[in-house]
Amino acid sequence: MGRIKEKRIKRLKKIRIWPSVVGFFFMLLVLCMIMGVGVLALLYETVSRKLMEGYEYSVKAATLYEKQIAQGEFDAENRFYLYMDTIDEIKEVSVFNTEGNEAWSSGGIYPDMENVLEDVTLLPGSNSTFDIILEQMDGIFHIDEDHQLMPNASMFQKVDFLKVFLDDSKTVVGFDIWFLVPIENGTACVLNELSVFGYEIKMMLLIMVALLIMVAVFTLHYIISTIRMLISQTRSNKIIYMDMLTGGDNWLYFTKKSAKLIRKTGVKRKYAVIHLRMKKYRSFCTCFGINKGEELIERLYYAIKKQLHHKETMAHYEKADFGLLLIYTDELELASRLEGMIQTLEGVFPNIKLKFQIGVCEVDHPHANVEELYNNALLAREMHGDDAEQNIAFFNIEMSKQRIWERKVEDDMERALQNKEFQVYLQPKFSTGEELLGGAEALVRWIHPTEGFVPPNKFIPIFEQNGFILKLDDFMLEEVAKQQAKWISEGWKVVPISVNVSRAHFTREDLAEHICEIVDKYQVPHDVIELELTESAFFDEKEILLSTVKKLRDSGFTVSMDDFGAGYSSLNSLKELSLDVLKIDADFFRGSDSLERGMLIVTEVISLAKKLNMKIVAEGIESREQVDFLREQECDLIQGYYFAKPMPLTEFEKNYKNVEREEING
């Protein structure tokens, strides 16, 4: 999977809860701070107001006391006592003289002057200051470092909530506090009882409840939003990991899950990645329809899934291909299990014959790439061949080397063509009667700058698969035409040189015109160029082939069929194709057990070709006995190692220039 695609999928899969969580806690913190500040502000305002009221009562009491003392009217019946009786908050008044000694007290109680705190600010920014003594506050309030009056956490533990709900006017919490007021002859100390009433507590509770409701609603909203996000993300993940054809796990899920299983188990379990393919799925869809084909894939998927064990997984790859990750102990046990799986799958449609092939790649280390393992398993199946008797193929290192070589060939082929690393070799053809040079076949050889001489069977099959054979054939045809033009200009009596034309060319209707254009560029007579077709070309584009061959023959080219007898329908192709030359496949002359039968077939083929007015070329001849036999059968030309191997152009010139009519000694 590409990196860009993987990044996009990761972004889709990623659950972005952390912004919501961070936002939730941030807002929760803000709301709690607001609630705390609000409660403290209300509490501070209430206490400050009570302190102001107490201080005002104390100042009036001290002023009245001072005035009556100055007028000599102070006695038990005077207005001072009446004032104390009227103000319920005032519980005691004590007076200290200027020397700090006790002078008078209404109840015989004096405060401890050592605990007096000076200049306590009542309200922030207020100019009113006074002295207070904390007497019997029971830890309800305390004085902080800045001499501010602050409530303790135990304050609400002192609250009688029963009073709050029974009567708003009743005192819920109260405490005693001394106020010190300077007078002319000393200091008046007034003991006040500061009380908080039920309605005030209710107001504070109401604010707290409102804030708590806000926090609860906010929390609930975020929880619901997060749950919705998780549900949506889960659904998205299901879509991301679902195969649209089977409804099961898709390939992305398989690779992720397999990598996780392999990585977690390490060396505890042996895993193998399996490539399973149903053969001729396209033919099945052609016969029964696409819907039936999709139904087949779905049935196969669930039939395979039922056979999986714990810690194993599988997925549909594409078309009729499936990937599996299986646990195994040894290859024999795994092969036996896979054979049983194939038997089960063959019975999915009882009345339809289904065929399967499997490639296996064993996992060699816990960090192996699942995609590469699957490709190796696929390679094992492909290299095993579609017609192999065995249904199961195990990947090995030689297959990997072959794949690396194929990649190298494909990487180097364009450069090799430009640098003329491909060279023309000629293998002579000789007449059977006089054994004189009668022609040659152009064969390609690759002289690689680092690999050296590369034989054709190492690169031609690769070129036929990737289509590069088209460029190579054009190159060979042009090189032969160029060489024939050179020899003609030098006065040679040239012989026809045959050039292979791959079956891949017969997809284009203007092939004959294309070949003529290449040859005519060098003004070479068409009869010195022979075009060899493989028998397999007859089964691809039949109409194009027949039309092209006719055009080429009409243009003066000699057209031959190479490897006659290598296929299964040679006679049928001879019936419809008008050819000039028939090349008998070398396999007829090999193998001691079937040599006699082969010679009999060769005899009849030569006789048939003569009747069809065709020349015969026998290739792969390696012995004198074969030469003598072909002479007796009146074969026209012989090509093989008995006379000469393929050779470079320079060597061909050296050996055969101007000796066309001399007898060749084998």
Say which CATH number the domain at 326 has.
3.30.70.270
Judge if 494 and 611 occupy the same domain. yes
- Which of 107-111, 140-144, 209-213, 558-562 is most confident? 558-562
**Residue 131: what pLDDT?**
57
Judge if 278 and 315 occupy the same domain. yes
pLDDT category at 272 given cuts 50, 70, 90 is: very high
Beta strands at 437-448 and 270-278: parallel, antiparallel or unpaired: unpaired
Summarised one tens digit per residue, pLDDT across range 581-590 is: 988 877 777 6
Judge if 102 and 181 occupy the same domain. yes
- Local structure of residue 103 (DSSP, 8 states): E
Judge if 544 and 465 occupy the same domain. yes
Judge if 390 and 505 occupy the same domain. no
**pLDDT over 70 for what percent of the chain?**
77
Residue 333 lies in a domain: yes
Judge if 288 and 194 occupy the same domain. no
Judge if 75 and 208 occupy the same domain. yes
Q: Is the pLDDT of residue 122 over 50?
A: no
- Which segment of 84-88, 97-101, 341-345, 431-435 scores lowest on mean pLDDT? 84-88
**Residue 47: what pLDDT?**
73
- Which of 3-12, 210-219, 554-563, 597-606 is most confident? 554-563
Residue found under tokens 């609000």: 38
Mean local confidence (pLDDT), 457-471 = 90
Judge if 198 and 346 occupy the same domain. no
Judge if 312 and 453 occupy the same domain. no
CA-closest candidate to residue 136, choices 169, 112, 100: 112
CA atoms within 13 A on the CB side of 457: 0
Gap between the Cα atoms of 30 and 21, Å rounded: 14
Residue 665 lies in a domain: no
Residue 13 lies in a domain: no
Is the C-alpha dihedral spanning 539, 542, 545, 546 positive or negative? positive
**pLDDT over 90 for what percent of the chain?**
27
Are the C-beta atoms of residues 530 and 558 closer than 8 Å to each other? yes
**Residue 144: what pLDDT?**
58
**Residue 485: what pLDDT?**
93
More confident: 438 or 241: 438
- Which segment of 212-221, 245-254, 380-389 scores lowest on mean pLDDT? 380-389
Q: Is the pLDDT of residue 126 over 50?
A: no
Mean local confidence (pLDDT), 268-285 = 89
Gap between the Cα atoms of 530 and 501, Å rounded: 10
Is the C-alpha dihedral spanning 219, 225, 231, 233 positive or negative? negative
Q: Which amino acid is at 622?
A: E
Q: Domain total for the chain? A: 3
pLDDT category at 439 given cuts 50, 70, 90 is: very high
More confident: 73 or 148: 73
More confident: 503 or 555: 555
Residue 500 lies in a domain: yes
**Residue 150: what pLDDT?**
59
Mean local confidence (pLDDT), 254-259 = 90
Q: Which of 182, 212, 242 is the last residue of a domain?
A: 212
pLDDT category at 136 given cuts 50, 70, 90 is: very low
Judge if 438 and 357 occupy the same domain. no
Q: Is the pLDDT of residue 341 over 90?
A: yes
Residue 140 lies in a domain: yes
More confident: 343 or 200: 343
Q: Is the pLDDT of residue 536 over 90?
A: no
Mean local confidence (pLDDT), 576-602 = 76
Q: Is the pLDDT of residue 403 over 50?
A: yes
Are the C-beta atoms of residues 441 and 498 closer than 8 Å to each other? yes
**Residue 660: what pLDDT?**
44
Q: Which of 165, 191, 212 is the last residue of a domain?
A: 212
pLDDT category at 447 given cuts 50, 70, 90 is: very high
Q: Is the pLDDT of residue 498 over 90?
A: yes
Please give the structure tokens belonging to residue 499.
């050039």
Summarised one tens digit per residue, pLDDT across range 164-211 is: 455 555 555 666 778 888 888 888 888 877 776 666 667 777 777 777
**Residue 199: what pLDDT?**
65
Q: Does residue 582 sit in helix, strand or coil?
A: strand
Determine the structural domain holding residue 546 and report its residue range.
417-656
Gap between the Cα atoms of 220 and 35, Å rounded: 18
Residue 664 lies in a domain: no
The mean predicted confidence, pLDDT, of the chain is 79
Q: Does residue 340 sit in helix, strand or coil?
A: helix
Judge if 350 and 204 occupy the same domain. no
Mean local confidence (pLDDT), 591-612 = 78
For residue 594, the domain's CATH number is 3.20.20.450
Q: Where are the alpha helices (DSSP H) in 555-594?
A: 570-576
Judge if 379 and 427 occupy the same domain. no
pLDDT category at 537 given cuts 50, 70, 90 is: low
Residue 623 lies in a domain: yes
Residue 244 lies in a domain: no
Mean local confidence (pLDDT), 550-575 = 78
